[in-house]
Each structure stands twice: as structure tokens, then as C-alpha cells.
Amino acid sequence: MAVTFACLARRSMALSRPHGGRHMSDIDNGDFQERIQANFARQAALHTIGAELTRVQRAMVEIELPFDVKLTQQHGILHAGIISAALDSACGFAAYSVIDPDASVLTIEFKVNLLSPGRGDRFLFRGEITKPGTNIIVGDGRGYAIGDGPAKLIASMTSTMMIIRGREGITG
């Protein structure tokens, strides 16, 4: 085997020529950062939980969340549904950065693994695009608790999204 596989989801994709897909570097979808910020501003649920959009790059978005007791479950740790909301949003916004400006994204399904209890002062959720298809986009996300000491991996997500074009009432 002479092939050298590379680190990070991003690089794996540089290696790969998906059937029917395209390289992310081929995509010119204009000012995706502005569109993602406008989209974030319209997501009432994210404001309800106190989420902040802290980093937007092509195929990678980060959302941060200060700890708040109103977001906890019975053990005083971050509720799995809140973790899901933040990771799903990070993956979804990352998808917006690789689609046409007038298209939109709907999550079809996701899986979340809760790896460690969500304890910390603050949480960071990163979503990255693993496969930018023409109809289906797959993203992977990771959530970290931030407090004293190094960040702690608390959750991972794989999310499958569908690109929506021209469906009334469901635009970006």
C-alpha cells in the first residue's frame, strides 16, 4: 500500500473524488459568511439556549455556549438535547458554506454519542463537512467542555443533510 492517508476530515476529502460530487475548492458560493450569520440570527432556538456563532470557515463552523443551569438535565450536566441542537446547527451552517447561495439545507437525520458528562464553564461545538455531495451532505461534529485545564471531548455527531432548491417557504 503506497497510499498515504491524511489527517483531518478536510484532508481526507482533498484525497477523494466522490462519485457525482465535487471538490470543495471548486465551489464559489459567494459571501457564505454573511448568509450564515443572517441564518443564525433567524434561529430562535439557538438564542433561547444562548448559543454564539464564533467561527465560520468554508466547510467548518464553530458555535459556543456558556454553561447555564437552565440547560441541564437531572444530574446537573448539559442536556443531550442541547448538545444535539448545538452540534446539528454547527454541521448545518458548515453545509451552507458549500452549497449554492440560493439553496438551503434540511437535516434528514443525525446520531450523537455522549462521550463524557457535559460539565464546564463553556462549551464549543465544531461542525465539519465530510462529504459535500450534489444532493446529500454529510457532516461530522465534536463538542468540547471548556473550563480549567484542557478542553474535554464530550460528544460527537454524524449528520446527514439534504440540499433543498426552490421549495417555497423553506429558503435559506
Q: How many angstroms separate the CA atoms of 70 and 73, rounded? A: 9
Rounded (10°) CA dihedral 44, 45, 50, 53: -70
Using CB under 8 A as the binding rule, whether residue 45 contacts a second copy is answered as: yes
CA distance 165 to 172: 10
- Is 35 a binding residue for a second copy by CB under 8 A? The answer is no
122-161 residues in contact with a second copy (CB under 8 A) are 124, 126, 130-131, 133, 135-136, 138, 140, 142, 144, 146, 149-153, 156, 158, 160
Q: Which of 48, 57, 102, 121 lies at the binding interface for a second copy (CB under 8 A)?
A: 48
163 binds a second copy (CB under 8 A): no
32 sits near a second copy (criterion: CB under 8 A): no
Q: How far is the CB of 111 from a second copy (least distance, A)?
A: 4
Q: Tell me whether strands 136-146 and 60-66 are parallel, antiparallel or unpaired.
A: unpaired
Minimum distance between the CB of residue 30 and a second copy, rounded to whole angstroms?
A: 18
Q: Residue 19, interface with a second copy (CB under 8 A)?
A: yes
Q: Are 109 and 98 in contact (CB under 8 A)?
A: no
User: Is the Cβ of residue 58 or residue 131 nearer to a second copy in the bound state?
Assistant: 131
Query: Where would I find the beta strands (DSSP E) of the chain?
Result: 52-57, 60-66, 103-114, 122-132, 136-146, 152-165
**Binding of residue 97 to a second copy (CB under 8 A):** no
Please list the alpha-helical segments (H only) found in 80-146. 80-96
Q: Is 29 in the site for a second copy (CB under 8 A)?
A: no
